[in-house]
Structure 1
Amino acid sequence: MAEARCPASCGELIQGWIAGGEKLISCPIDWYSEVEVREGDAAGDERQLSRRMLNQVIKHFGYRANDLPPLRIECRSTIPIAKGLASSTADIAATAVATARLLRQSLDEATLARLCLQIEPTDSTIFRALTLFDHRHGECCISCHWQPSLDILILESAQTLTTADFHRRVGLSHLQRQAHQLDKSWRQFQLASRSQSLRRLGEAAMLSACASNQYLPKPAFDGLRRVVEQQDLYGINVAHSGTVVGLLFDHRQHDPQQLLARLDTAGILLHYPHQHVTHLVAGGVS
């Protein structure tokens, strides 16, 4: 038996057309998909993509299907699906590492990324550092050497949107029209990293969120911006191909329950019936 876990992501800190292509920086949070791989028959509720990943890892290490006994995948996750929380990446990445461990092997981040991309677009939560990543082709991977400490109030809409549906609705032309704003966001993120400034990090996320809102509007977005300004929060980040919104704050300066009360008074929580207080964490599969 072997286990592994991978964090969810509260959308992305930034995502869009950056330096000539679509890229993102995920926002890993302390909410995990935990996967166990062991001998046994497949579970009735097994996730199809996890099985595909298990088979890929077996093949990657040179095994044939009949070299091994039947393997069972147990996934323990409460991460909502199709909301922009990187639930699928968390599942398949944790499955990959747990399978490798069962085979007494290991996967470095580059190999894990390649295996994940063979299945679907992949969030950069698979990297320990905050990483600008070409999540569709893997041709760009730029790590940040700063691990900020940041609290995030996630606002979860009742609406769902899969990544595939997003790409059917929003073409590259929509993203390319926002390239100038995303280049500004990426420059601000780099400046935030160099200066280790949460304020600048929030500004980078806000620039990207505002660009995203032009082609995938979030309910009550203007009201959320007013609350951020009135409460002097760091900013907003969003799921650029999903439905969740994150408010970036520091619990030492802001009481999340008071923030929720303010949002409720403003009528914003009518659009976001579920809320979660989380913390930005290092990514990577552990």
Structure 2
Amino acid sequence: MSVARCPASGGELIQGWILGSEKLISCPVDWYSTVEVREGTPLADERPLARAMLKALLARWGYPPTFSQALRIEIDSTIPLAKGMASSTADIAATAVATAHHLGHSLSESELAAQCVALEPTDSTLFRALTLFDHHHAQTQIACAAAPHFDLLVLESPLQLRTADYHRLPRRAALKANAGVMQRAWEKVQSACTRTDASLLGEAATLSAVASQTLLPKPAFAALLALVESCGLYGLTVAHSGSVVGLMLDRRYHDVDYLHWALSQQKLAAHWPQRHLLASVAGGVQASA
């Protein structure tokens, strides 16, 4: 029996047309999918992509297809589904690493990324460092220096959007139109990590969030930007292929209670009735036997 866990993402720090194609940097937060792989009969209600990952790895390592039926996958996760919080990436990446450990194999981060994108567009939460990632093909994996710490007040909408549905939208022209903005955002991310500057990271995320409005607009976005400005927050993240928004802050210095009050006063709570105060964390899949 082996266990692994992978963090959720509070939307993306940046996503758009960068270095010649669409890429992203996820925003890993302290909310995890924990997966156990052990001998046993498969559960009737298990998540299909997790089983697909297990089968793909068995094929990779030369096990007979029937061996899959002798392995049970159990997932413990409360990460909201289809909201843009990387719930699926967390499930399949943790499944992959737990499967590898259970069978005595190993997967590098690059190998894990390739396995994941073979199933679906994948978030970069599976990397330990903030990583500019080609989430369709895994051909670009550029790690940044250690990220500055911040907190994220995640605003959860009841609206759901499957990542696969978003990626079927005609987006290429709009993405390329914002390439200049996204290049600046990417440069700011690199500087923010080099200088350990959460404010600069927030500037990068906000640039990307504004650009995303042309593709998947968030309601009352101008009011959220005004709140960020008036409260001196670092910036905001959005799920570029989902519905959540994240307010970037430091809970030691920013008044979180006031933010809750302001969201209610401005009737923004109607769009995001659930909120989660989360800490940013290093990404990567953590395994234990």
TM-score range, shorter chain: over 0.9
- Name the amino acid aligned to 2:121: P
Q: Percent identity?
A: 54
Using a 3 Å threshold, how does the CA distance of structure 1 residues 160 and 67 change in structure 2: closer, same or farther? closer
Structure 1 residue 66 displacement after superposition: 4.1
1:148 match: secondary structure = coil
Question: Which residue of structure 2 lines up, in the alignment, with residue 202 of structure 1?
Answer: 202
Structure 1 residue 139 displacement after superposition: 1.3
Q: Is the 8 A contact 2:42 2:69 kept in 1?
A: no
Question: Which residue of structure 2 lines up, in the alignment, with residue 135 of structure 1?
Answer: 135
Question: Which residue of structure 1 lines up, in the alignment, with residue 35 of structure 2?
Answer: 35
Q: Does 1:257 align with 2:257?
A: yes
- Name the amino acid aligned to 2:238: V
Q: Does 1:234 align with 2:234?
A: yes
User: CA-atom RMSD, angstroms?
Assistant: 1.2
Query: Given the two structures, how large is their TM-score scaled by the length of structure 2?
Result: 0.96
Using a 3 Å threshold, how does the CA distance of structure 1 residues 68 and 158 change in structure 2: closer, same or farther? closer
- Name the amino acid aligned to 2:255: D
Question: Which residue of structure 2 lines up, in the alignment, with residue 13 of structure 1?
Answer: 13
1:6 match: secondary structure = strand
Within 2, Cα distance between the matches of 1:174 and 1:185?
16
Cα offsets for 1:157-213 (capped at 9, x unmatched): 111111121122342112111111111111111221222211111000000000001
Within 2, Cα distance between the matches of 1:202 and 1:160?
25
- Paired residues, number: 286
Within 2, Cα distance between the matches of 1:67 and 1:195?
49
Within 1, Cα distance between the matches of 2:67 and 2:43?
21
Within 2, Cα distance between the matches of 1:89 and 1:55?
16
Q: Is the 8 A contact 2:132 2:141 kept in 1?
A: yes
Q: Which moved more, 1:163-172 or 1:42-51?
A: 163-172
Question: Which residue of structure 1 lines up, in the alignment, with residue 173 of structure 2?
Answer: 173
Using a 3 Å threshold, how does the CA distance of structure 1 residues 225 and 68 change in structure 2: closer, same or farther? closer
Structure 1 residue 71 displacement after superposition: 0.8
1:208 match: secondary structure = helix
Cα offsets for 1:108-167 (capped at 9, x unmatched): 101111111111111100000000000001111100111321100000111111112112
Q: Is the 8 A contact 1:39 1:69 kept in 2?
A: no
Q: Is the 8 A contact 1:13 1:26 kept in 2?
A: yes
Question: Which residue of structure 1 lines up, in the alignment, with residue 87 of structure 2?
Answer: 87
Q: Which runs of 4+ in 1 moved over 6 A?
A: none
Question: Which residue of structure 2 lines up, in the alignment, with residue 283 of structure 1?
Answer: 283
Within 2, Cα distance between the matches of 1:216 and 1:147?
27
- Name the amino acid aligned to 1:256: V
Structure 1 residue 68 displacement after superposition: 6.9
Give structure 2 stretches of 5+ with no counterpart.
Answer: none
Within 2, Cα distance between the matches of 1:62 and 1:283?
30
Using a 3 Å threshold, how does the CA distance of structure 1 residues 254 and 170 change in structure 2: closer, same or farther? farther
- Name the amino acid aligned to 1:136: H
Cα offsets for 1:26-74 (capped at 9, x unmatched): 0000000000111111111111100010011112222223457611110
Q: Is the 8 A contact 2:84 2:243 kept in 1?
A: yes
Q: Residues 242-253 of structure 1 correspond to what in structure 2 (within 5 A)?
A: 242-253=242-253
Within 2, Cα distance between the matches of 1:168 and 1:55?
26
Question: Which residue of structure 2 lines up, in the alignment, with residue 44 of structure 1?
Answer: 44
Question: Which residue of structure 1 lines up, in the alignment, with residue 72 of structure 2?
Answer: 72
- Name the amino acid aligned to 1:218: K
Within 2, Cα distance between the matches of 1:68 and 1:234?
47
2:100 match: secondary structure = helix
Q: Is the 8 A contact 2:8 2:30 kept in 1?
A: yes
Within 1, Cα distance between the matches of 2:96 and 2:67?
18
Using a 3 Å threshold, how does the CA distance of structure 1 residues 85 and 67 change in structure 2: closer, same or farther? closer
1:145 match: secondary structure = coil
Within 1, Cα distance between the matches of 2:237 and 2:19?
20
Cα offsets for 1:56-96 (capped at 9, x unmatched): 11122222234576111101110111100000000000000
Within 2, Cα distance between the matches of 1:68 and 1:82?
27
- Name the amino acid aligned to 1:216: L
2:213 match: secondary structure = helix
Within 2, Cα distance between the matches of 1:111 and 1:199?
33
Within 2, Cα distance between the matches of 1:68 and 1:52?
10
Query: Given the two structures, how large is their TM-score scaled by the length of structure 1?
Result: 0.97
Give structure 1 stretches of 5+ with no counterpart.
Answer: none
Q: Is the 8 A contact 1:170 1:215 kept in 2?
A: no
